[in-house]
Structures are given as C-alpha cells and as structure tokens.
Amino acid sequence: MTAVCLMNTYKPMPLSFIRGEGARLWDDSGRQYLDAVAGVAVTNVGHSHPKIVAAISEQAGLLLHTSNHYRIDWQQKLAQRLTQLSGLEQVFFNNSGAEANETALKLARLYGWAKGIEHPLVLVMDNAFHGRTLGTLSASDNGTARLGYQPMSAEFVKVAFGDIVAIKQATRVYGERIVAVLVEPLQGEGGVALPPPGYLKALRGHCTQNGWLMMLDEIQTGIGRTGRWFAYQHEGIVPDVMTLAKALGNGIPIGACLATAAVARLFTPGSHGSTFGGNPLACRVGCTVLDIVEGEGLLHNAAVQGERLLAGLRTALAGHPDVAQVRGMGLMIGIELTRPIREVCLVAAREYGVLINVTRGQTIRLLPPLVIDAADVDRIVAGVVGALGQRVTG
C-alpha cells in the first residue's frame, strides 16, 4: 500500500510488523526477526513485556489523564526514582526527547538571565543530534535535518566532540557569554562516536570552574543502554542537567529533564509546562521500566552481552575490506564502513532475519533490547557478517 496520505518525511523499509515479544518481532506474513534496533534505543526491556502490558492495561482502566492542574502520584514516584538513580534532584516531564532538550535549553537561558547575561551561548558538538524542534535543530549538527530550516538560532557555538582543548579555546573566544555545554556522552545519530576516556570528567571540571551548566543528553544512552543507568556514571561524575526519553517509556511517549535543585529552582509556576507531560500512564510505565531493568539485572546483561557482541564482531570482521572500525559501549555498537553499502539493512532482514540500522550514511548501528542472550548476540553477528559478506555495491 502506498502511503499517499502521509507526509513524505520517512523512507520506511518494505517491512511491517504486527507483533513483538522480548527481542523478537513478527511481520505480517508471520516471519520472525531478531530486533537489533529496539525502535532506535526505545524498547530496552523488550517488546510486550508482561509487566509493561499489565501496567498499561491496569492504568488505562483506572485513569489516563487529568493534567498538571492536579497532583499526579505516579509522576512524583517516577521523579523520586530517577533522582535516586541519577544523583540529580528535580524532574520536569515531557513527551519526547526534543521537548526534554528544549526544557534543558530553557533552563540554560534562565541561568544566563539570572546572571545578567544578555546574549547567552551554549556550546554544542560537531555531529550532535538533539531533536527536530527549531531550538534543538539549532543545537544539532545534522545537515539533512537542518536543510531549508534556516535561520538557525545564533545562541549555539559548535566545537569538536571529545576534544577538551576545543572547549578551552571556545572559553577564551566567547568567555563570559557561555552559560552551558550540551553534549551526548556517546553520539548515537552522529555515528556511534565515543569520546576519549576521561573527556566527560574533564568537561565536568571545566564547567564547574567556569560556572557553566553541564547538560548531558542521555536520550539514546540512558536507561541502561551502555551498561550503567546513565553513561556519565562510567566516569564517576554528575552533570547539572540531564535529559531522557526513548527507553524511559519503552514505547509509551515520555521525556524528562532532570536538574540539580539549584538549577531547577529557576523554573517557577507558569514558566514552563506541558499538557500531556508526566501523565499517569507514561509515568507508571516509566516506573515499571525501572523495576524491570533493576529486577532482571539488565544493566549487567547489557554490559556482558555488549562485550560479547563487540568481541564477536571484531573477530568476525577483522580485515574485512568494507569495515573501518567496530566500536561501542554496552549494547550501543557501531560498525563504521569504508563506503556506504546500500541495502545492507534490507539484506540483513531478508536473508538473516536480523534487524539492523545505518546512521550517518555508512555506520551500521546496533541497539538491541537489553534482554538479549548469548544466542541472540551470535545471531546478530552472523546476520551482520552475512549481510556485509554479500558485498552489495552502493
């Protein structure tokens, strides 16, 4: 069926799924696939998890929406859990990642305003991706996503990702106008890029020294993806602001902006809001996701299976002429190719029943649900290696 009634913003593969369970999906012909994308880092606890199904069904029968004009107990519960896990102190709930980042950017504006800075600047990174609202697009460095939407907001200064020297140079050039830095701990859309070890720690120190807000976009990396609740925990630091979305709802739309109390208090009643943000359904599901990650040991599983996947791919693809590098952390893995290989996702799906993704044109990205086991990992390796082995020309 041609999607003539849908706006032309996506180019979907010729596949349609009707059912999912754990790390598996079934298409409309009944064929089973292993999902190594998880709806782009969303279904971390797997498809149709019985506890998520129960939480949704029960809450739907009780209450879906009342608005933020009333206290919402599930919102308070989820905020409490997230603050305990993150070391941050207060939460604002949204419905998506872009909105969560808008919340963070608004906090940065208020922070600058409180300091009397008239034209505040936020440092952002080469190849960053923070969303598709006009504000978050301005903070992103993605040519296709920005094309035709100029002018972009002038409040962002772009520096090289993972390079603390570039940050220091920007400090010298822009000085007191800088109020914050917004960065993904690992870049997802930007090609699964990892900063050098110690970068986030050095950045934390620099932000503290200069009175900037350290704002981490954990929308893709958060909720266990890298083997810790949040990727910054690998470096033993705590940011001033963090954003979450994607896996927090496992498919139910939710976003969250967390901050220290000192930063969060810049908001006052009426200064920010959302009709749907923090509704009982989304927050109850968020609490259930956290219960499952904890109860099923999924942080540990992500670390263990991530190592197996990385090692398996590195061994199987060693010396492959089309592979430049295999890198990653936990279950966020990129295989950078030496050239774009068209159809690699379709070949992996059709021939091997493994769903993979390509980002930045020539980096295969693997983001399987955190519930995968060793046999699943081996099937993903076989699917990727098989699809690349076919040498489909670009």
Ligand X SMILES: Cc1ncc(COP(=O)(O)O)c(C=O)c1O
Catalytic residues: 129, 217, 246
Nearer to ligand X, 37 or 317 (CB): 37
**Which residue in 86, 220, 357, 359 binds ligand X (CB under 6 A)?**
220
Nearer to ligand X, 129 or 161 (CB): 129
C-alpha 333/C-alpha 329 separation (Å) is: 6
Nearer to ligand X, 215 or 385 (CB): 215
Q: Record the tokens describing residue 103, joined without a space.
A: 């919340």
Bridging pattern class, strands 357-359 and 363-366: antiparallel
Q: How far is the CB of 161 from ligand X (least distance, A)?
A: 12
Residues 171-210 that bind ligand X (CB under 6 A): 184, 188-189
**Which residue in 245, 247, 252, 381 binds ligand X (CB under 6 A)?**
245
Q: How far is the CB of 326 from ligand X (least distance, A)?
A: 20
Q: Is 360 in the site for ligand X (CB under 6 A)?
A: no
**Which residue in 20, 39, 97, 369 binds ligand X (CB under 6 A)?**
97
Q: Which position's Cβ is nearest ligand X?
A: 97
292: exposed, middle or buried (Cβ count in 10 Å: 0-12, 13-18, 19+): buried
Residue with tokens 């908001």: 267
Rg of the chain (C-alpha set): 21
Which residues are annotated binding-site positions for pyridoxal 5'-phosphate?
A: 97-98, 129, 217-220, 275
Which listed range, 73-81, 92-100, 308-316, 355-363, lies at the site for ligand X (CB under 6 A)?
92-100
Say which residues have a Cβ less than 8 Å from residue 332's Cβ, sequence separation at least 6.
Answer: 41, 186, 188, 192, 220, 221, 225, 226, 306, 365, 366, 367
Nearest to 124 by CA among 90, 174, 88: 174
Nearer to ligand X, 248 or 388 (CB): 248
Q: How far is the CB of 237 from ligand X (least distance, A)?
A: 18
Identify the helix (H) or strand (E) that includes residue 315: helix 298-317
Hey, how many other C-beta atoms are within 10 angstroms of the C-beta on 40?
A: 15
Q: How far is the CB of 186 from ligand X (least distance, A)?
A: 9
Residue 24 near residue 355 (C-beta atoms within 8 A): no
Which listed range, 90-98, 204-212, 230-238, 286-294, lies at the site for ligand X (CB under 6 A)?
90-98
**Which residue in 25, 98, 256, 348 binds ligand X (CB under 6 A)?**
98
Tell me the helix, strand and coil percentages in the chain, rounded to 5: 40, 20, 40
Nearer to ligand X, 99 or 155 (CB): 99
Residue with tokens 């996503």: 145
Q: How far lies 151's CA from each of 134, 138, 146, 147, 387, in Å?
A: 9, 9, 9, 10, 41
Q: Give the Cα-Cα-Cα angle 345, 346, 350 (nearest 5 degrees).
A: 125
What are 180's strand-pairing partners? 122, 213
Nearer to ligand X, 39 or 312 (CB): 39
Residues 103-162 that bind ligand X (CB under 6 A): 129-131
Taking CB under 6 A as the rule, which mask of x and - marks residues 20-59 in contact with ligand X? --------------------x-------------------
Q: How far is the CB of 43 from ligand X (least distance, A)?
A: 14
Which listed range, 6-14, 97-105, 208-216, 328-336, lies at the site for ligand X (CB under 6 A)?
97-105
Which residues are annotated binding-site positions?
A: 97-98, 129, 132, 217-220, 274-275
Q: Record the tokens describing residue 333, joined without a space.
A: 């893995």
Q: How far is the CB of 45 from ligand X (least distance, A)?
A: 18
Chain positions contacting ligand X, by CB under 6 A: 40, 96-98, 101, 129-131, 184, 188-189, 217, 219-220, 245
